[in-house]
Amino acid sequence: MGSTTRRFQVRLLFLFSLLHGVSRMSSSAQTLASGFLAVISVNLVIGLYIFMAMKETRHQEPQPDPTFLANAKASINQPTSSQPSDDSKGKGKVE
């Protein structure tokens, strides 16, 4: 138990000295370091998202609504009239 506590203390000291050292950096170096940290953070989140998506189980393919499918087939099989309706006369024509 003593060595685990000691390791934790060493890590905390390293982190503190790292954070304390950041305040001594120049303005442009701080901007550069925070930019790199932002890019790494975003990449980690994207990687975690991809990993979680890969672990998802596959679902069966979605099936169309049977009522919609029956209506669509019926509308395809309806005979078409040889004369155009009043709605289609003159639309799109420029004289």
Q: Specify the pTM.
A: 0.42
Would you state the structure tokens that stand for residue 81, as one six-digit string? 């009239």
Residue-range domain boundaries for the chain = 2-55
State whether residue 49 is helix, strand or coil. Answer: helix
Would you state the structure tokens that stand for residue 54, as one six-digit string? 């890969």
Question: What is the rounded distance in angstroms from the CA atom of residue 76 to the CA atom of residue 7?
Answer: 75
Question: What is the rounded distance in angstroms from the CA atom of residue 54 to the CA atom of residue 48?
Answer: 10
Is residue 22 a contact partner of residue 33, using CB atoms and an 8 Å limit?
yes
Q: According to the model, what pLDDT value does residue 38 have? A: 92
Residue-wise pLDDT tens digits, 56-65: 877 778 788 8
Residue-wise pLDDT tens digits, 30-72: 888 889 989 999 999 999 999 998 888 777 787 888 899 889 8
